[in-house]
């Protein structure tokens, strides 16, 4: 039910019968799969009609979202894609679940090689602010979010690091005080 999960499953070589309805371009390997509705509000009737062995989604959508699958007797698995470690664990978990361990290890090695290159870079003094815009709201990504984690890994200095949440709401005064050198918009 998520574009990111769809891309991971495709990269692993897992055949999917359903994909989220999205304006993003999905991988060639999932062409022909049935659209099951928006990632945050999938159509349970369409999903049931596919008779899935498992529906894979992200765990950040909340307990009510998870309960919907349980209440509809749809087998589901929720993965963590909030940061790079979560992505790696997801690739490993899905590789094991779908008997694609070799491909998962290949992907993980590629990620670790890229991470090693980034770790050799010097940390920048430039201050970076990451803005996450969604319909009806604008949030700031902390270093706990996936993109915030990548900025940190790449040597960036997230001006809104720390805390326990992935995103936070902030006022203009705090943004002016932070005085970012660069602003990334998602």
Token digits of residue 88: 């790696």
DSSP classification of residue 101: H
* Res. 171: pLDDT tops 90: no
* Res. 86: pLDDT tops 80: yes
Which has more pLDDT, 144 or 94?
A: 94
Mean pLDDT of 106-119: 92
Query: Mapping DSSP to helix (H, G, I), strand (E, B) and coil, where does residue 137 land?
Result: strand
pTM summary value: 0.83
Please state whether beta strands 127-134 and 137-141 pair in parallel, antiparallel, or not at all (unpaired).
antiparallel
* Res. 135: pLDDT tops 80: no
Cα distances (Å, whole numbers) of residue 87 to 22, 71, 125: 21, 27, 27
Mean pLDDT of 97-104: 97
45-74 pLDDT per residue, tens: 999 999 999 999 998 877 778 889 999 999
* Res. 27: pLDDT tops 90: yes
First to last CA, the chain: 20
Long-range CB pairs of 8-17 (<8 Å, 24+ gap) are 8/87, 8/90, 8/91, 8/94, 9/56, 9/94, 9/98, 11/103, 11/107, 12/91, 12/94, 12/95, 12/98, 12/100, 12/103, 12/104, 12/107, 13/100, 13/103, 14/94, 14/98, 14/100, 17/50, 17/52
């Amino acid at each position: 039910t998520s574009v990111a999960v769809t891309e991971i499953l495709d990269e692993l070589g897992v055949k999917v019968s359903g994909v989220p309805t999205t304006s993003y371009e999905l991988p060639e390997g999932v062409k022909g799969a049935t659209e099951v509705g928006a990632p945050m509000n999938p159509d349970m009737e369409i999903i049931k009609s596919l008779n899935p062995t498992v529906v894979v989604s992200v765990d950040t959508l909340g307990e009510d979202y998870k309960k919907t699958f349980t209440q509809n007797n749809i087998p589901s698995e929720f993965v963590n894609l909030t940061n790079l470690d979560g992505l790696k664990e997801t690739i490993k978990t899905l590789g094991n679940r779908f008997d694609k361990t070799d491909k998962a290890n290949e992907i993980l090695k590629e990620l670790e090689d890229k991470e090693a290159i980034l770790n050799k870079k010097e940390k920048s003094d430039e201050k970076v602010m990451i803005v996450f815009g969604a319909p009806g709201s604008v949030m700031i990504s902390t270093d706990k979010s996936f993109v915030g984690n990548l900025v940190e890994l790449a040597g960036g200095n997230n001006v809104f690091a720390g805390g326990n949440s992935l995103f936070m709401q902030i006022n203009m005064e705090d943004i002016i005080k932070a005085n970012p050198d660069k602003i990334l918009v998602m």
